[in-house]
Amino acid sequence: MPTITVENYLKQIYLLQRGGELAPMGGLAVAVGVTPGTATSMVKTLADANLADYEPRAGVRLTEAGTRLALQVLRRHRLIELFLVQTLGLDWSEVHDEAEELEHAISDKVLEKIDTLLGHPDTDPHGDPIPPPTGSPRQEKLTPLNDCAPDTTAQIARVRDQEPAFLRFVDKHGLTPGTHFTVESQNPSADAITVRPHNREPVTLGLAAAGKIMVKVVE
Amino acid sequence: MPTITVENYLKQIYLLQRGGELAPMGGLAVAVGVTPGTATSMVKTLADANLADYEPRAGVRLTEAGTRLALQVLRRHRLIELFLVQTLGLDWSEVHDEAEELEHAISDKVLEKIDTLLGHPDTDPHGDPIPPPTGSPRQEKLTPLNDCAPDTTAQIARVRDQEPAFLRFVDKHGLTPGTHFTVESQNPSADAITVRPHNREPVTLGLAAAGKIMVKVVE
DNA sequence: CTCAGGACTTGACATCGATCAAACATCATA
DNA sequence: TATGATGTTTGATCGATGTCAAGTCCTGAG
C-alpha cells in the first residue's frame, strides 16, 4: 500500500504526463507543493519501487504499475467529487479539496458502494473522466473553447481548473459541463470570446480562461 | 490541527478513561498498537501540548482541550459509521475499520452535511452515543446484559465490541440495538444466559459475551 | 520485610518525508 | 561563445513517529 505522499506523486505525474511523454521535475515539484529537491529524492524512491522511470534532467514517466496506481487514485478522487456534489449537496467549487483528502482514506469497498449509488457515472462534476476500476479512461477528442470560431454550436464537456473562484464564475454564467451554447464572437486581438449558453445571457471571457474550458462541437 | 496519530491517542485515552480517572499507559499502548515506550514518549508530547496530564507510572488523563478534540474525533467516527450503514448499505460489522480511516480525512463541512442527511442522529449503529458538535454526549444509565435477572424485559441499547465476528453473531440472532427481549434464564454456574428477542428464537450466550451488550430495562 | 517479576520509563537510534542552501547543468540569446 | 536565467542535484538536517534494550519502580508472595 503506497503512502499518501506516494499516491499524490503518482497522481500528479500521471496528470503532467498527459500529452508529453515525460513529466518535468519542476512542474511536479510545483504540483505536489514541495521544493525541487524533495521531488527529486521522492522520484528516485518511486523509481526504486518500480513505479516510475526517472531520467535525470529530463523528467519522469510512470511505469505500468505506477500508472495503474495513479488511475486508482484518480478514480477515487473523481467518484468522491461527484458523490459530494450529488449525494451530499456540496458546491462543485469546493469538492476538489475535500476529495483530495478523502481519496487517500476510502477503501475499495466503500468506493464501489458509492459507484453503485451514483449509477456507475463516467465523468465527475468538472467533466473529467472517471477511470474504470481497471484499465484506462476513454479519451474523447475535445476542443478548447478558445479555438471555437464564431457561430460554432457546442456543448461544454470539461472545465480544467479547480480554482473555486473560477468554478463559481463558470457556474454563475451557466457554463457547466453538459450545457449547450453558441459562440457569438471571437476576437484574438481583444483576447476575448463571447458565448451564449442556450437559455442564458451571453458571457465574454478572456482567451486564457476560455482555454480551460473544453467543449464538444455539435455536428 | 493535530496529526492522525495524535487524534488516535486522544480518542483512545478518552475511551480508556471512561469509569476510571486515569487511563493506564499499558492499555493505551495496546489500544493504539505501539510498544510501551512509544506510548510514553507520545503521551509526554501530548502533555507538552496541554492536551493531557501525565502522571508517570500512574497513567494519563485528558485536559479540557484534549477532551474536546477527542470528542470531535469520536463524533466523526460515529457519524461516519452510521452513514456507511444507512446511506451506503455496508454491514455494521465492517464499518468500524472504515470509519477508523475516514474520521481523520473528513472536513467539518462534509461531516455536517452527513449529520443533516441522517437527521441529526444521536447514536451510531452500535448504540454508541454520537457526541454533539460541542459539549459532551449524554450518558444513559445502562445495564450489562449479564446482570439481568430471568424474566427481565429490556431493550438492547449498545453493543460494546467492534469484532466483526461478534457483531455478525449478534446481528444474526437479532440482538441489535433497539431490539426488545426477555431474559429466559440466567445461570452463573453454567456461565450462560438465555434471552428471547421478541419475534425471534431464543439465544444462549456466555456471560462474558453478554457483558458486552448493554441494555435499557423496561419498567 | 524482602525481593522477583511485571509494568513502565529512558535513551539510543531508525525511517520517512520534508526543508534549505549551495553546487551544478542546460540553453537561449546578446 | 560567453552569460545569465532557469531548473536540477546534492548533502546536511529536521521533526514526527516508531523500535529496541536496558534500567527503574512497585506490588504481592513467601
For the segment B186-215, the average pLDDT, to the nearest whole number, is: 92
Q: Is residue A128 part of a domain?
A: no
Rounded to the nearest 5°, which phi and psi values hold at B183? Answer: -80, 120
For B88, the closest of A90, A101, A110 (CB atoms) is A110
In a domain, A169, yes or no: yes
- Whether B3 sits with its Cβ under 7 A from any strand C atom: the answer reads no
- State which of A62, A79, A100 marks the end of a domain: A62
Let me know if B214 is exposed, middle or buried by CB neighbors in 10 A (0-12, 13-18, 19+): buried
Residue in the structure block whose three cell numbers are 448493554: B214
Residue of chain B whose alpha carbon sits nearest to that of A102? B105
Is pLDDT above 80 for B19? no
Please answer whether residues B127 and B157 qualify as being in contact, where contact means their C-beta atoms are separated by less than 8 angstroms: yes
Average pLDDT score over chain A:
93
CA distance A105 to chain B (A): 5
Q: Is B90 on the interface with A (CB under 8 A)?
A: yes
Does A111 fall in a domain? Answer: no
Q: Can you tell me the mean pLDDT for B191-216?
A: 93
Predicted confidence at residue B188, as pLDDT, reads: 85
Distance linking the first and last C-alpha atoms of chain A: 46
Q: Is residue A29 part of a domain?
A: yes
Q: What is the pLDDT of residue A6?
A: 93
Tell me whether residue A194 is in a domain: yes
When pLDDT is averaged across residues B107-112 and rounded to a whole number, the result is 97
Per-residue pLDDT at A20: 67
- Examine residue B16 and state whether it is found in any structural domain, yes or no: yes
- The span from the CA of A143 to the CA of A152, in Å, is 11
Residue A108: inside a domain? no
* Strand C footprint nucleotides (protein C-beta < 7 Å): 7-12, 16-22, 25-26
Query: At B58, which CATH number?
Result: 1.10.10.10
Interface check B106 vs A, CB under 8 A: yes
* Confidence band, pLDDT 50/70/90 cuts, at residue B139: confident
**pLDDT the model gives residue A3:** 92
Residue range A184-210, pLDDT digits in tens = 999 888 899 999 999 899 999 999 899
pLDDT of A1 > 80? The answer is: no
CATH of the domain at A147: 2.30.30.90
Question: In percent, how much of chain A has pLDDT > 90?
Answer: 79
Nucleic strand D contact set for B 10-69 (CB, < 7 Å):
32, 34-38, 41-42, 45, 57
Q: What is the mean pLDDT of residues B12-26?
A: 91
Q: Percentage of chain B with pLDDT > 70?
A: 100
Average pLDDT of the residues of chain B: 94
Model confidence pTM above 0.95: no
Q: What is the pLDDT of residues B69-99, one digit of tens each?
A: 999 999 999 999 999 999 999 999 999 999 9
Q: Which of B37, B62, B87 delimits the end of a domain?
A: B62
- Indicate the residue of A88, A101, A117 with minimum beta-carbon distance to B117: A88
- In chain A, the number of structural domains is 2
In this structure, is residue A99 part of a structural domain? Answer: no
Higher pLDDT, B219 or A118: A118
Do residues B6 and B73 make contact, with C-beta atoms less than 8 angstroms apart?
A: no
Query: What is the rounded CA–CA span in Å between residue B75 and residue B112?
Result: 11
CA distance B152 to chain A (A): 40
Q: Which residues of B touch A114 (CB under 8 A)?
A: 88
Range of the domain at A30: 4-62
Instruction: For residue B41, say whether its CB is under 7 Å from any atom of strand C.
Output: yes
